Amino acid sequence: MYRIAVMGDKDSIFGFAALVLETVEVTNASGAAEALRKMSGKDYAVIYITEALAAKIPEEIDRLRDRSTPAIILIPGIVGNTGMGLYNVKRTVEKAVGSDILN
């Protein structure tokens, strides 16, 4: 059975535990990269990562982008939306369709 996890700072991911999602509290780049590598080798279907944390490990996220699992989804953190999540959605749609249809 596939699992779902949420990575980020404590304040941003605390509420996801109530939804019975696995929460991984990480705030630094090295810890985030290590946690993402470990989870990508297991049975995770989706890993949500706060935008602030994702900004610290773009190379790790890019390494997993072409794999079918886990899907890496960026979410706003407690400090708000940085626009990084929307940018990644636009990039994925552009790659799938061949042009930017979200403008």
Domain-embedded: residue 103:
no
Whether 102 is covered by a domain: the verdict is: no
pLDDT at 79: 74
pTM: predicted TM-score of the whole model, two decimal places: 0.80
pLDDT at 73 over 70: yes
The CATH number of whichever domain residue 78 belongs to comes to 3.40.50.10580
CA angle 7, 47, 9 (to 5 degrees): 10
The verdict on residue 21 lying in a domain is: yes
Q: What is the pLDDT of residues 28-68, one digit of tens each?
A: 999 999 999 999 889 999 999 999 999 999 999 988 888 88
Of the candidates 27, 28, 47, 23, the one whose C-alpha atom is nearest the C-alpha of residue 37 is 47
Q: Residue 66's pLDDT is what?
A: 80
CA gap 41, 69 in Å, rounded: 9
Tokens of 79: 């400090």
Q: Are strands 44-50 and 71-75 parallel, antiparallel or unpaired?
A: parallel
Number of domains in the chain: 1
- Residue-number span of the structural domain to which 69 is assigned: 3-97
Confidence grade of residue 78 (pLDDT, cut at 50, 70, 90) = confident
